[in-house]
Amino acid sequence: MAESIKIKKGLDIKLKGKAEDTKEDALQSQFFSMRPDDFHGMTPKVAVKEGDAVKVGSVLFCDKANPELKVVSPCSGTVVAVNRGERRKVLDIRLESDGKFESVPFEKAEPSQLKSDDVKKRLLECGFFAFINQRPYDVVANPNDAPKAIFISGFDSAPLAPSYDYVFGYDQCVEDLQRGVDALAKLTSGKVYVSTHKDSASRAFKELKNVSLYEFEGPHPAGNVGVQIHHISPINKGEIVWTISPYDVLAIGKAFGKGSIDFSRLIALVGSSVEKPKYYKTYPGAEIASVVKGQVKEENVRYISGNPLTGTQVGKDGFIGAFAHQITVIPEGNKNNEFLGWIMPRLSKFSTSRSYFSWLLGDKEYVADTNVNGGKRAFIMSGEYDAVFPMDVLPEFLVKAIMDKDIDKMEQLGIYEVAPEDFALCEYVCTSKIETQKIVREGLDFLRKELA
């Protein structure tokens, strides 16, 4: 029986445009793009050049510090370009797909029968390893580390997030996930923790063996793996844990089961600007247009690869991020010209503040645009962050310590336990419109550099 943990603090932002439980194949994506920036913490060393033929699983670039850490191609075809920006920074590797998705050879195996080193080598070889993240610092895991445990969050509580009950609801799923989990178990001497939501109907995660199961309930960010780690086994200074999304666990499991590499996944196209929000089978790095074409009902919109709190803005001609499980399309708020908005009742907008009325309107779903709704200020209101931050960490003091670049204070206040995504709700509710995620990201990078 899974242990259960109840989260009280947090916030479910109810937005219009949740995906219906139907799926279809996305249009054929002609081009693919893999961005080193998605794999935070890696310094890319490009392994291909223009014109090279690639297969699914061919190495595109590896990490300068750990050359065995590789990022591979999600499609088969040819390399069109290696786009570089200022100071020759690699922006992305552009591929043209031949539509066949032929895989490099991958030997079928039962990971539970393999040796640890074998599993690690195979995961590194075919690029799956780059999808493992580590805490502290929220960067791609270093294969030379020995993590104390591996955490998998079995539900996504973010606004408009895909329902894992649906995505992982098919019959074969338990088997595939089990293989993936078995492979991961070989990477740590500790346990593999899987968390599910209390109300989850799916058996995919609940029937997993050789894992520690936890059951969470409560509002977002209960589904954030960082929150789960904090409540199950908090990270202390010097400890390392790895995290991975079940999407990638599934991909690993499938590869071992089928003997070929397949990055395809079911992502949700959501948001109030989408005609019919639903699920699409597509690939990381595929063109946004292959999913959204003909589905968006407004002109002035923002395409987000990821959820509206933590995702990355990509243009209409952008690509799906390597770690994205949803594409959110919401209206831009750059032409509102809202007259005296700050004192109006704003019945159609959601707010946590009781100076508006959304607390009276129950389960109403709202349209949220990208307007910041106010000017940037110094910290004024207190306790706002605490109300949406379900960890025993003082978020406001931590953010201030980061702003001060005070390393001792950051450590003392628990920076090793957090990732930018944990601060997404703080940023959402902030009266002073402080960019907390950016601050935390910079803080983690600063700390990593200083302590390296």
Partner 1 sequence: MKALRNFLDKVKPNFEEGGKLSAFRSVFDGFETFLFVPNTVSKSGAHIHDTIDSKRVMSFVVIALIPALLFGMYNVGYQNFLAAGHGNESAIEMFAYGFLAVLPKIIVSYLVGLGIEFTVAQWKNEEIQEGFLVSGMLIPLIVPIECPLWIIAVATAFAVIFAKEIFGGTGYNIFNVALITRAFLFFAYPTKMSGDQVWISKESIFGLGYDLSNNTVDGFTGATALGQVATGTTTNVVNAIGESVSLQDMIIGLLPGSIGETSVIAIMIGAVILLWTGVANWRTMISVFVGGACTAFLFNAIGSESNQVWNLDWMEHLAVGGFCFGAVFMATDPVTSPRTNCGKYIFGFLIGVVAIVIRCMNPGYPEGMMLAILLMNLFAALIDYVFVQRNINKRLNRVK
Classify residue 295 by burial, with Cβ atoms within 10 Å: 0-12, 13-18, 19+. Answer: middle
- The answer to whether 426 and 418 are in contact (CB under 8 A) is no
User: Measured from the CB of residue 400, what is the shortest distance to partner 1 in angstroms?
Assistant: 9
Contacting residue, 26, 393, 399, 402, with partner 1 by CB under 8 A: 393
CA–CA dist 206, 197 (Å, integer): 10
Which of these ranges, 1-9, 57-65, 163-171, 349-357, lies near partner 1 under the rule CB under 8 A? 349-357
Tell me: does residue 170 bind partner 1 (CB under 8 A): no
Which of these ranges, 62-70, 100-108, 240-248, 392-400, lies near partner 1 under the rule CB under 8 A? 392-400
User: Measured from the CB of residue 147, what is the shortest distance to partner 1 in angstroms?
Assistant: 17
Contacting residue, 143, 175, 397, 446, with partner 1 by CB under 8 A: 397
Q: Is the dihedral of CA 147, 107, 177, 99 positive or negative?
A: positive
Tell me: does residue 330 bind partner 1 (CB under 8 A): yes
What 3-state DSSP class applies to 435?
coil
CA–CA dist 134, 123 (Å, integer): 16
User: Measured from the CB of residue 119, what is the shortest distance to partner 1 in angstroms?
Assistant: 31
Q: Is the dihedral of CA 333, 428, 352, 366 positive or negative?
A: positive
Tell me: does residue 383 bind partner 1 (CB under 8 A): yes
Chain positions 106 to 135 lying near partner 1, rule: CB under 8 A, are: none
Residue 331 has phi, psi (to 5 degrees) of -65, 145
Contacting residue, 1, 146, 340, 452, with partner 1 by CB under 8 A: 340
Q: Would you give the binding string for partner 1 spanning residues 283-322, x where CB under 8 A is met?
A: -------------------x-x---xxxx-x---------
Contacting residue, 260, 356, 361, 446, with partner 1 by CB under 8 A: 356
Q: Give the DSSP letter of residue 137.
A: T
State which residue, 170 or 357, has the beta carbon closest to partner 1.
Answer: 357
State which residue, 156 or 165, has the beta carbon closest to partner 1.
Answer: 156
User: Measured from the CB of residue 303, what is the shortest distance to partner 1 in angstroms?
Assistant: 10
CA distances from 408 to 230, 395, 415, 444, 447 (A): 20, 16, 10, 13, 10
Q: Provide the token pair at 438.
A: 């950016």
User: Measured from the CB of residue 377, what is the shortest distance to partner 1 in angstroms?
Assistant: 5
CA–CA dist 234, 250 (Å, integer): 26
Contacting residue, 372, 403, 404, 405, with partner 1 by CB under 8 A: 372
State which residue, 246 or 311, has the beta carbon closest to partner 1.
Answer: 311
- The answer to whether 207 and 172 are in contact (CB under 8 A) is no
Tell me: does residue 437 bind partner 1 (CB under 8 A): yes
Contacting residue, 6, 237, 276, 364, with partner 1 by CB under 8 A: 237
Chain positions 246 to 275 lying near partner 1, rule: CB under 8 A, are: none
Classify residue 212 by burial, with Cβ atoms within 10 Å: 0-12, 13-18, 19+. Answer: middle
Side-chain half-sphere of 77: how many Cα atoms within 13 Å?
A: 20
CA–CA dist 95, 327 (Å, integer): 21
Return the H-helix or E-strand segment holding 79. strand 77-84
Q: Give the DSSP letter of residue 289.
A: H
Tell me: does residue 336 bind partner 1 (CB under 8 A): yes
Q: Would you give the binding string for partner 1 spanning residues 2-41, x where CB under 8 A is met?
A: -----------x-x--------------------------
Chain positions 196 to 215 lying near partner 1, rule: CB under 8 A, are: none
